[in-house]
C-alpha cells in the first residue's frame, strides 16, 4: 500500500473529520491579553508543567537555574547550578527530564527530592518530550537526528528531513511525534511504533514565513487537549488543527524572540511562553495536557 495512504489511515484515529479551528476557539475576547509573569532573567527556555499546573523554565545565563512559577505567580528556584538546560519535561513518577547541551551532551533526571542523575549520555540535545510509558524523544539539531531513549536508557537514532530539528511534541493519543524545523518552513510527523521506533516521516504542517523563500525558524512546540499544535516561530505562535491545517498566528507584540511554550496554571488554561529575559502568559479558552498521564484521543471543542 502506498506510504501516503498508510500515513493517512494512521492519522485517522484522531482526525475523524476535517474541521476549521480558528483562533477564536482559543483566544478570549475580553481579559485574554498577554501579561508579564516575571522578567530580569538572563535567557529563559525549556517551558514545561507539572501535575499541579506549576510552570517551569530554565535560565541559562543568570545563575544557571531551573525555576518554578506557581498559580499565584510566585517564582522560586527548583534546581540550581545546572548549565546549558535547553529543554525539559516531566515524565512518570514526577521525574523531570532535562536536556543539558554544550560540553555535557546528556539527558538529566531530577527527582522530587531534587536529586540529579544522568539518564543518557553522548547526546547533543536541543529539546525533548516524554511519554506516559517513560520513553524520551530528543531533537539533535546539529546531527539532524531524533533520539529515542527507552525507559531502560537504551538509545536509538532516527534520521529526519528537518534541516534543524528543534521543538518536539506529541499528539493527544501519543501515537504521533511532531518536530519543528528551525532551518525550514515545515513541521514533520512520525508514527511511534509499539517498540518506540519512528516510522512514516511526513511533512505535516507548513509554517508561515516573513517573506517568500525565507525560513520560519520553527522552535518550541506544545499540544492542547484538542490536539491542536502550537509552534513558536519568527512571525509569532502558529496554531494548527489536528489535521495539520493552519488555524492562525498569535502575533508576538514584543521585540523578543519566543522560543518555548506550554499550557500551565489553573486547569492548564494559560498559555505560557519564554521570551528572551521574560516570561509571559495569557488566559485561553483551551486547556493543555500532561504527557506523563494516560493518553486519550482528543477532546471535542465546546464553545465557551
Residue 300's pLDDT is: 85
The CA-atom distances, in angstroms, between 263 and each of 16, 41, 278 are 24, 21, 16
Write the DSSP symbol of residue 19: -
C-alpha cell at 140: 539533535
Residue 125, φ and ψ in degrees, nearest 5:
-85, 150
CA distance 14 to 28: 26
C-alpha cell at 84: 546549558
The CA-atom distances, in angstroms, between 120 and each of 115, 140, 194 are 16, 13, 21
Q: Do residues 204 and 217 make contact, with C-beta atoms less than 8 angstroms apart? A: no
Instruction: Provide the terminal-to-terminal Cα distance of the chain, rounded to the nearest Å.
Output: 42
Domain boundaries, the chain: 19-283
Residue 139's pLDDT is: 98
Residue 251's pLDDT is: 87
CATH class, range 19-283: mainly beta
Residue 10, φ and ψ in degrees, nearest 5:
-60, -45
Hey, CA dihedral for 103, 106, 107, 108, is it positive or negative? negative
pLDDT tens digits in sequence order for the chain, 304 residues long? 444 433 443 333 333 334 467 898 999 988 778 999 999 999 999 999 999 999 999 998 888 999 999 988 999 999 999 999 999 999 999 999 999 999 999 999 999 999 999 999 999 999 999 999 999 999 999 999 999 999 999 999 999 999 999 999 999 999 999 999 999 999 999 999 999 999 999 999 999 999 988 999 999 999 999 999 999 999 999 999 999 999 999 988 787 899 999 999 999 999 999 999 999 999 999 999 999 999 999 888 666 5
Assign 70 to helix, strand or coil: coil
Assign 186 to helix, strand or coil: strand
Question: Is pTM, for the whole model, over 0.85?
Answer: yes
CA distance 280 to 249: 17
> Concatenated DSSP letters for 240-260?
E-TTS-EEEEE---SSS-EEE
CA distance 289 to 26: 15
Write the DSSP symbol of residue 299: P
SS3 string, 83-150, reads CCEEEEEECHHHCEEEEECCCCCEEEEECCCCCEEEEEECCCCCEEEECCCCCEEEEECCCCEEEEEC
Which of 96, 59, 61, 95 is CA-nearest to residue 75?
A: 59
C-alpha cell at 137: 524523544
Amino acid at each position: 500500500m502506498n506510504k501516503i495512504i498508510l500515513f493517512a489511515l494512521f492519522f485517522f484515529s484522531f482526525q475523524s473529520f476535517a474541521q476549521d479551528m480558528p483562533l477564536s476557539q482559543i483566544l478570549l475576547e475580553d481579559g485574554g491579553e498577554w501579561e508579564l509573569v516575571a522578567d530580569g532573567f538572563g535567557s529563559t527556555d525549556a517551558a514545561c508543567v507539572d501535575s499541579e499546573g506549576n510552570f517551569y523554565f530554565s535560565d541559562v545565563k543568570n545563575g544557571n537555574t531551573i525555576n518554578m512559577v506557581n498559580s499565584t505567580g510566585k517564582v522560586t528556584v527548583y534546581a540550581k547550578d545546572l548549565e546549558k538546560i535547553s529543554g525539559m519535561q516531566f515524565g512518570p513518577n514526577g521525574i523531570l527530564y532535562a536536556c543539558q547541551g554544550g560540553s555535557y551532551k546528556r539527558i538529566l533526571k531530577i527527582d522530587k527530592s531534587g536529586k540529579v542523575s544522568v539518564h543518557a549520555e553522548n547526546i547533543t540535545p536541543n529539546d525533548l518530550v516524554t511519554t506516559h510509558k517513560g520513553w524520551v524523544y530528543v531533537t539533535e539539531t546539529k546531527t539532524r537526528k531524533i533520539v529515542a531513549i527507552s525507559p531502560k536508557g537504551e538509545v536509538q537514532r532516527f534520521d529526519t528531513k528537518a534541516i534543524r530539528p528543534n521543538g518536539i511534541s506529541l499528539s493527544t493519543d501519543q501515537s504521533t511525534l511532531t518536530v519543528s524545523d528551525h532551518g525550514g518552513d515545515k513541521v514533520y510527523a512520525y508514527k511511534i511504533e509499539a517498540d518506540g521506533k519512528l516510522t512514516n516521516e511526513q511533512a505535516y504542517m507548513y509554517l508561515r514565513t516573513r517573506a517568500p523563500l525565507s525560513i520560519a525558524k520553527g522552535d518550541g512546540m506544545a499540544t492542547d487537549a484538542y490536539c491542536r499544535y502550537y509552534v513558536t516561530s519568527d512571525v509569532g505562535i502558529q496554531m494548527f488543527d489536528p489535521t495539520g491545517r493552519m488555524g492562525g498566528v498569535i502575533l508576538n507584540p514584543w521585540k523578543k524572540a519566543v522560543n518555548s511554550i506550554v499550557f500551565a496554571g489553573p486547569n492548564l488554561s494559560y498559555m505560557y511562553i519564554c521570551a528572551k529575559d521574560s516570561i509571559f502568559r495569557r488566559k485561553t479558552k483551551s486547556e493543555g495536557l500532561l504527557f506523563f498521564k494516560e493518553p486519550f484521543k482528543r477532546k471535542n471543542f465546546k464553545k465557551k
